[in-house]
Chain A
Amino acid sequence: MADSLEARFVRRFRGGPAISADLVLPGGDGPVTVLFGPSGSGKTTVLRALAGLDRPDEGTIVNAGETWLDTRRGVFVPARHRGVSLLFQSYALFPHLTVRENVAFGLHRHDRAERERKTARALALLRLQTLGHRSPSELSGGERQRVALARAIASSPRLLLLDEPLSALDAPTREELRGELRSLLRQVGVPTIVVTHDRIEALALGDRMAVMVGGRIHQQGPVGDVFERPADHEVARCVGVDTVLAGRVVASGDGLATVESHGLRLTAVDRGLAGDVWILLRAEDVVLERDGGTRSSARNHLPGRVTAVTSEGPLVRVALSSGEARLSALVTRASRADLGLEEGADVFAVVKAPSIHLVPRA
């Protein structure tokens, strides 16, 4: 495809592991790809190579038909000629410039009127109009993040790279900005790669994701596919084998939301979400019952059948199918013996409404 990004390269560090990337972004109208993996898996190295700040030892990077790197032909386009904006984990705002000057920094090739127009637009997009004259040291963490984003998008880059964009924020701010970031990225429409090790961030922000473990990309594809069908056990361990279901909020009221997924109706705590959502369920929050007749406070009693039982140290992981959905529960060995949880057994999965975590789905 003409506007796709293809990167295949290896970067070796002395005395360290080799980082290799084999990444294909199909392009299109601004899809967000999440580069997901544990710390130290090489995500930032891949990002830096794409930005032109780091030179891989061998390989090629071709963006929209333009070769940025070809080690065999000795091609290396430096960062400043790539039109790639990188949002640093530390934001890297220029401390001696005001917010407005920071945002306008990358626009020096435009004439004055154009520069002011683009700066104003970026400031408005991130609701920073009133902070234009401030210095970065006078801003909160969330405001700094928004300034860094405004600076990154002001120059209309061809590729936007975000390195752990929310990790420097405290939890409440992170949650608030996550939603904002998602709609902003859709609005800006620039192909974007977001590096993260946070599952919820990956689900909330990404259209596609690439999972990186131990310096290698193990799997890439639509976010739902990767979460529901991990390619190998390393991907499974890294994205978590707990339940992730695609669903829809069909009703809400009384502080509760009703979600439909794969023919199941679930009750969750209403967090103001509507439309398509991801349903996240931790295996340890799923209680298994043999007869569904008991009265309990849990709102969700899902009939299902055990499909697999695997031992996990002192616990047992029970996989079950409930309609089309696949769930995972973590129980003790004693419970397993008491209930006779074997493959083919009919059970009820009981889940409290507050244990169901909803994340907006792209």
Chain B
Amino acid sequence: MVALPIVLPPTVLGFYVLLLLGPNGPVGRAVESLFGTRLPFTFEGLLVASVLYSLPFAVQPFAASFAAVERTLLEAAASLGCSPLRTFFRVVLPLSRAGVVTGLVLSFAHTLGEFGVVLMVGGNIPGETRTVSVAIYDHVQALDYASAGATSLVLLGVSFSVLAITYALQRRTPNAWQTASKPGS
């Protein structure tokens, strides 16, 4: 379910989110009666949609690195009187650092580049819901290639750095959880 946004066309996701958050949608109605505000075409609404859209890009690396933590370490923690919550923060999370950082970086980069969902839910309001990617599109539409180029160059630089950081992190902690001795039979 959480992986659906990977294969779903962004405009389709955006459309359903719009319906859901809209004044006639169940979520939209609840939010309006609670906070007195509407979500579509606001920054908050865009935030909700972005989380839904980019969640799988964080969840997959998180889950993979959590699952890779050796089981005996969790059992060792339990037999040392550790609660599941403490085990998670003291053992699982530190040993999955590379995966967690990868997930955060990937979802950040992915959010930066989203387009379809933004247009559907955010509505491209300058200063409110216009994102960098949409801004580049607008510059091109207005034949302002200089601005489009400058913004694109910034994004290229950001993307490149993000990848570099991710790879560097993955190399530095290669399977940190496997440095313990061989698992027994």
Contacts and interface: CB of A to CB of B under 8 A. Distances in A.
A80 B81 contact: yes
Interface stretch (B20-28, B59-67, B70-78): B70-78
B66 to A, nearest CB: 14
Interface in B126-148: none
Contact of B79 (A80, A108, A109): A80
Contacts of B179: 95, 135-137
A144 B83 CA distance: 25
B28 to A, nearest CB: 43
B interface majority secondary structure: helix
A234 B86 CA distance: 45
B184 A86 contact: no
A interface majority secondary structure: loop
B77 A86 contact: no
B182 interface: yes
A51 B72 CA distance: 13
A109 B72 CA distance: 22
Tier of interface size on chain A: 35 or more
Tier of interface size on chain B: 20 to 34
B80 interface: yes
Interface in A106-150: 106, 108-109, 135-137, 141, 144
A78 interface: yes
A165 to B, nearest CB: 11
Interface string A82-95: 11111011111111
B86 A90 contact: no
Contacts of A78: 78
B83 A168 contact: no
Contacts of B88: none
A135 B79 CA distance: 21
Interface string B152-185: 0000000000000000000000001111111111
Nearest to B177: A95
Nearest to B71: A92
B182 A92 contact: no
Contacts of A84: 79
Nearest to B97: A96
Contacts of B183: 90
Interface of B: 70, 72-73, 75-83, 86, 90-91, 94-95, 176-185
25 contacts: A51-B75, A79-B78, A80-B79, A80-B82, A81-B81, A85-B79, A86-B76, A86-B79, A88-B75, A89-B184, A90-B184, A92-B73, A92-B75, A92-B180, A93-B180, A95-B95, A95-B176, A95-B180, A96-B176, A105-B82, A106-B82, A137-B180, A155-B81, A164-B184, A168-B182
Given A80-B82, A85-B79, A106-B81, 20 more contacts: A39-B185, A51-B75, A78-B78, A80-B80, A82-B79, A84-B79, A89-B184, A90-B183, A91-B181, A92-B73, A92-B75, A93-B180, A94-B76, A95-B95, A95-B178, A96-B91, A96-B95, A105-B80, A108-B86, A168-B182
